[in-house]
Structure 1
Amino acid sequence: MFERLTLNLRRVLDESYDILIGYNLLERIPLDLKENPIGDKYAIITDSSIRRLYGEKLLNRFLEEGVSACLIDFPQGEESKNLGTVEYLVTRLLENGFNRKSAIIALGGGVVGDVSGFTASIFMRGIPYIQVPTTLTAQVDSSIGGKTAVDTREGKNIVGSFHQPRRVYIDPSLLKTLPRREFISGLAEVIKYGIICDRDLFNYLEENVERIKRLDENALLHIIRRSCMIKKSIVEEDPIEENKRAILNYGHTPAHALERLSGYKCLHGEAVSVGMRISGWVAVRKGFWSIDEWERQNRLLASFELPLKMGFNIEELIKAMYYDKKVEGGSLMFVLPRKIGEMALINGKYKIPVSEEELRVFLAELS
């Protein structure tokens, strides 16, 4: 015999937030937070490179506005995306007197956003944070949606949480100091949006390759705004990835494995580009997608100087994929295109199982 007590916690949390997009927005952030505060003080968390470019300038603007803030940085690169960095940040926050009413500002690319967001999610059981993305990848993708994580030796994003930012400031002018390789890498995520749900965006990219590559302001603003609208819409519909949000992972099942095998020497978007070629071929071979559209995708990737191939051992790649979170029932789960602008569904689900035997054959055909 036992007695059952039910603790009822049926409630709807409002985690809505604004995404502000505009040129030269960075310098206006302190005044906006003074007029519309999120915390009693702010920790600007960034990496060693962004600290020099923008971190100290932003801190000075906070001080000019009379808003309490400090600047904390850690070494640049994927190697810093680990629990050791999180522990370091927690220590620095405590040293600076931060509490549950304080807030974090993530100033940087995807690594800074992930590490800062995860730290915010666990510091004193969770404090607010703000995203200020400085790379194209972060501006169009990782700064929106609340996914935070760090890597372990076993794989990418193994330890993490869902913790939505309280505000996102996207300033395309920050891309002017971004290394060209990183800018090109970020375009893979924009192309991904065109494939998964926006044929018009895909067409726009095809028609404006040179304008985008030379950082034309209007073209950049258009693709950033459109990408953010797509990401916003998908996250609103499926905030914790129960079904549709999975389409944002197009190309990512092989991409995360490729990143791991490269020792994180390849950039995320470069791995996603190769991953989309692989995933697209899986879609072709399983009868979901036409080979003509797969080739069209690959031509667009190549036109932006994104890689289509990386040297890898098939068995090592398959093994590395199993370390990712996209494994269910012993099968690797892929999201696969049905046509440009639409993803395939099986029984109402976007995640489609691909057996190890199938994948081995498909990868051999691409090698």
Structure 2
Amino acid sequence: MEFTLIAMENVAFGYRLGTDCTEDILARLASHDASSYLVVADTTVAGLYGHDLTARIDKQVAPAHLLIHKVGEPHKSLSTVEALAHQALEQGIDRRAVVLALGGGVTGNIAGLLAALLFRGVRLVHVPTTVLAMLDSVLSLKQAVNATTGKNMIGTFHAPVEVLADTAMLRTLPAREVRSGMGEVIKNALAIRPSMLDRLGGSLRADAAYDDETLQWIIFESLAAKALVTAADMHERRSGLVLEYGHTTGHAIEHASRGAVAHGAGVAVGMIVAAEVSRRLGHAQTDLVSLHRELVAAAGVHPAVPADADITLVKERIAYDNKRGYLDTRPRHTPMVLLKAPGQVLHTGVLPLVPVPLALLEEVVDETTAPGAGPAAETTAA
């Protein structure tokens, strides 16, 4: 199947989506007339696709070098970016080089920041290999790595020149990562595009087994949702902040689990927390909380803060959420994206944020925690 170019209003780069499109990927890469390609992948994706794709680019398009980083959030750091930058420069690259991010959101951010820093900015192409990357992270101009105090604290903005998404690459994806992607899909439906909800509710699968047609619909709808709120806010500082729904607690869960909880699974539980907070503040009804729980469970994610996360650390990380500073909040409050109903986001002025007492948020987190979570909880891959 050939790539389909998906038109997105006010998005400065092309997004092409298809299935079994390796030859089309090579043709698109050739169109950029790069002096060389730096293919960035983690150790898993390098084995599945990286070595082969790099060899084909090197043979058919331009000199190509594979840069490999370790798997997971703990390695999404400045030290990883620095090590890859030194490798790239040792290969003798120049300003006409293109960084190709081959992988999920972690690789996309590492490669994106690398592209932004090399020669103060070289071109970036995304070839996403996870559901989450295809429908979410590759559309963001935000390229960031983690700090000891939280996720995505160190970074900048750098736009890709193109996204080339092939759903065939999702066939090797573990169920855990597919479920993670569905967490973001549910977010898009609840917060931005409630017209998705009926079909999505009937399409979600706890076993994470989706056909290519369903995946393409899910990706297209999610791209439309994200484009809607970022068309006039590509830096996601105003209307685009709605994309942070579920992320206040979600990021904290992910960080506190040291990567054992996938991003989208953390966000899924974070949305349940946000819905309950909204209910307790008198903004939402009980049926909104129930809808969140039903959708999250249907996607195969347990609707509670998992035992993989140190609950004490989760509550500590919440206070360092990256939306701090957008609102002039009182002490012991944090800004959150909250809903009144599907597609109805609460605002403070023009911003889709509401100040929430940390004591209330911590109380809801405690009550949404699975048995066994606590300090020094054992971490296992979900």
Q: Report the TM-score, using the length of structure 1 for normalisation.
A: 0.91
Amino acid at match of 2:316: K
1:66 and 1:326, CA in 2 relative to 1: closer, same or farther beyond 3 A?
A: closer
State the one-letter code of the partner of 2:96: K
Equivalenced residue count is 353
Q: Distance in 1 between matches of 2:33 and 2:141?
A: 17
Q: 1:205 aligns with which of 175, 195, 200?
A: 200
User: Which residue pairs with 2:287 in the alignment?
Assistant: 292
| Counterpart-to-counterpart distance in 2, 1:67 and 1:59 | 10
| 1:159 and 2:154 correspond | yes
Distance 1:211 1:267, change over 3 A: closer
Q: Which amino acid aligns with 1:16?
A: A
Map of 2:374 onto structure 1: none
**Residue aligned with 2:136, SS:** helix
Deviation of 1:366 (Å): 3.9
* Aligned position for 1:268: 263
Hey, what does 1:29 align to over in structure 2? 25
Q: Show CA shifts across 1:75-126 (max 9, x none).
A: 1111211111111111111111112221100000111001000111111111
Confirm or deny: 8 A CA contact 2:17 2:164 kept in the other structure. Answer: yes
Supply the distance in 2 between the matched residues of 1:326 and 1:103 (Cα, whole angstroms).
32
1:1-367 matched pairs, under 5 angstroms: 16-34=12-30, 36-37=31-32, 39-210=34-205, 213-310=208-305, 311=307, 316-328=313-325, 329=328, 330=331, 331-366=333-368
SS in 1 for 2:283: coil
Greater CA drift, 290-299 or 58-67: 58-67
Supply the distance in 2 between the matched residues of 1:27 and 1:77 (Cα, whole angstroms). Answer: 29
The alpha carbon displacement at 1:361 in A equals 4.0
1:285 Cα deviation from its structure 2 partner: 1.3
1:237 aligns to what SS in structure 2? coil
Deviations along 1:3-49, one digit per CA (max 9) or x if unpaired, are xxxxxxxxxxx971000011112332122221x21632211111111
For 1:357 and 1:233, how far apart are their aligned partners in 2?
33
Instruction: Name whichever of 204-213 and 143-152 sits farther off.
Output: 204-213
Compared CA separation, residues 225 and 364, structure 1 to 2 (3 A): same
Q: Which residue of 2 aligns with 1:5?
A: none
Measure, in 2, the Cα distance between the counterparts of 1:364 and 1:258: 12
Higher mean displacement: 83-92 or 319-328: 319-328
In 1, the alpha carbon distance for the partners of 2:272 and 2:341 equals: 14
| Alignment partners' CA distance in 2, 1:229 and 1:27 | 26
Deviation track 1:215-267 (CA, whole Å, cap 9, x = no partner) reads: 22211110011111222232222111221111001000011111122122111
Q: Residue type matched to 2:148 in 1? A: R
Distance 1:210 1:262 in 2: 25
Tell me by how many angstroms 1:360 deviates.
3.6
Q: Which residue of 2 aligns with 1:7?
A: none
SS, match of residue 334 in structure 2: strand
Please state whether the residue corresponding to 1:296 is helix, strand or coil: helix
Please tell me the root mean square deviation across aligned C-alpha atoms, in Å. Answer: 2.0
Measured in 1, the distance between the counterparts of 2:53 and 2:311 equals 46
Matched residues, percent identical? 31
- In structure 2, what residue type is equivalent to 1:17? F
Q: Distance in 2 between matches of 1:38 and 1:78?
A: 33
1:9 aligned residue: none
> Contact conserved, 1:289 with 1:337, CA < 8 A, in 2?
yes
SS of aligned partner of 1:114: helix
Residues 243 and 351 of structure 1 are in contact (CA less than 8 Å); yes or no, is this contact kept in structure 2?
no
Secondary structure at the aligned position of 2:99 is classed as strand
Contact 2:147 2:154 in 1 (8 A): yes
Pairwise CA distance, 1:64: 3.3
User: Gaps spanning 5+ residues in structure 2: where?
Assistant: 1-9, 370-382
Relative to the length of structure 2, the TM-score reads 0.87
What does residue 7 of structure 2 align with?
Answer: none
Instruction: Give the distance between the partners of 1:366 and 1:212, measured in 2 at CA.
Output: 23
8 Å CA contact 1:42, 1:69 repeated in 2: yes
CA distance in 2, matches of 1:317, 1:210: 28
The residue matched to 2:349 in structure 1 has which SS?
coil
In the alignment, the residues of structure 1 paired with residue 283 and residue 33 of structure 2 have an alpha-carbon distance, to the nearest angstrom, of: 46
**Structure 1 gap segments, 5+ residues each:** 1-13
